[in-house]
């Protein structure tokens, strides 16, 4: 925090490192002030990056874990019933020996790897490459699959890619914002800030469809408080009305979509 930086040194005592915030998928640019190999503070880079200098409370203050005294700084090996400190050479030799034994005795598919959302894309790539190329198994998983599998699958089927196809800057050019199934200000605060900024300053209509009274409902033009578990029914009903009242952009549908006839059959009962 700012209080923690008092007495840490003057501006010229710090080394500044520009990086990407590791917390959510926004990819905000963060500038770390470092002294003696310790993070002193994190700030946004003014008018730079997708966040344009903005940071949420996690991105700005949630870096104490890096230098936390309880963080593991050396490998531990179980000796008897206790995990005791060991040297890196001994620990790595043990890992190599045990993985080799398992692979030789039971085959490579008896080994699996679980990657981490706290690692960079490059580190996770190397991890899966090690398992596939060195160990010889495709048993690779990631903790984010538990919470993002449905999102990635839905985006991939709808847009051809398991990631967003628009940018945060698009909020500054939209005529209406529709939020469903997202507590945006909690999960992606910088995007939540962009939504509120456009609602307050450009008077963009905001429609929030959520059974909860989330923060964005305070800024919403309409709050559709449907029942839990009826998101799909609500969306199908809305699309049925759009088509029935001839409000759809037919040229866009013809040029930019696939499987529209199948979609029409899916919403006929609405």
Q: Where are the domains of the chain?
A: 2-61, 73-106, 111-164, 165-267
CA 180, 186, 189 angle in degrees (round to 5)? 95
Is residue 86 within 8 A of residue 75, CB to CB? The reply is yes
Is residue 140 within 8 A of residue 128, CB to CB? The reply is yes
Identify which has the larger pLDDT, 262 or 165: 262
> Is 2-61 CATH 2.20.25.90?
yes
Phi, psi of 268 (to 5 degrees): -60, -40
Q: Hey, CA dihedral for 64, 70, 72, 73, is it positive or negative?
A: positive
Question: Hey, do 2-61 and 165-267 end up sharing a CATH topology, with the first three levels equal?
Answer: no
Q: What is the tens place of the pLDDT at every residue in 124-167?
A: 999 999 999 999 999 999 887 777 778 888 888 888 888 788 88
Residue 3 has pLDDT above 50, yes or no: no
Q: What is the tens place of the pLDDT at every residue in 60-108?
A: 998 888 889 898 999 999 999 999 999 999 999 999 999 999 999 999 9
Q: What is the tens place of the pLDDT at every residue in 232-255?
A: 999 999 999 999 999 999 999 999
3-state SS class at 130: helix
Is residue 62 within 8 A of residue 39, CB to CB? The reply is no
DSSP H helices in 130-204: 145-159, 184-187, 189-201
Domain 165-267, CATH homologous superfamily name and number = Dimethylsulfoxide Reductase, domain 2 (3.40.228.10)
- 194's tokens: 């962009």
pLDDT at 269: 67
């Amino acid at each position: 925090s700012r209080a923690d930086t008092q007495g840490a040194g003057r501006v010229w005592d710090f080394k500044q490192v520009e990086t990407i915030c590791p917390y959510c998928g926004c990819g905000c640019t963060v500038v770390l002030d470092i002294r003696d190999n310790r993070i002193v503070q994190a700030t946004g880079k003014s008018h730079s990056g997708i966040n344009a200098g903005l940071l949420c409370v996690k991105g700005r203050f949630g870096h104490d874990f890096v230098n936390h005294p309880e963080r593991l700084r050396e490998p531990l090996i179980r000796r008897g019933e206790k995990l005791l400190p060991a040297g890196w050479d001994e620990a790595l030799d043990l890992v190599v020996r045990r993985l080799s034994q398992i692979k030789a005795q039971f085959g490579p598919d008896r080994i699996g790897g679980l990657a981490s959302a706290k690692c960079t894309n490059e580190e996770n790539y190397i991890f899966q490459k090690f398992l596939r190329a060195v160990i010889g198994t495709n048993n690779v998983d990631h903790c984010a699959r538990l919470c993002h599998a449905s999102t990635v699958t839905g985006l991939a089927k709808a847009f051809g890619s398991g990631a967003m196809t628009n940018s945060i800057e698009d909020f500054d050019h939209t005529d209406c914002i529709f939020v469903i199934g997202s507590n945006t200000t909690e999960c992606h605060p910088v995007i939540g800030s962009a939504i509120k900024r456009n609602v307050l300053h450009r008077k963009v209509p905001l429609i929030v469809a959520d059974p909860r009274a989330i923060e964005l409902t305070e800024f919403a033009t309409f709050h559709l408080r449907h029942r839990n578990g009826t998101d799909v029914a609500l969306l199908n009903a809305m699309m049925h009305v759009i088509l029935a009242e001839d409000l759809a952009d037919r040229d866009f549908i013809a040029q930019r979509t696939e499987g529209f006839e199948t979609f029409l059959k899916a919403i006929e009962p609405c």
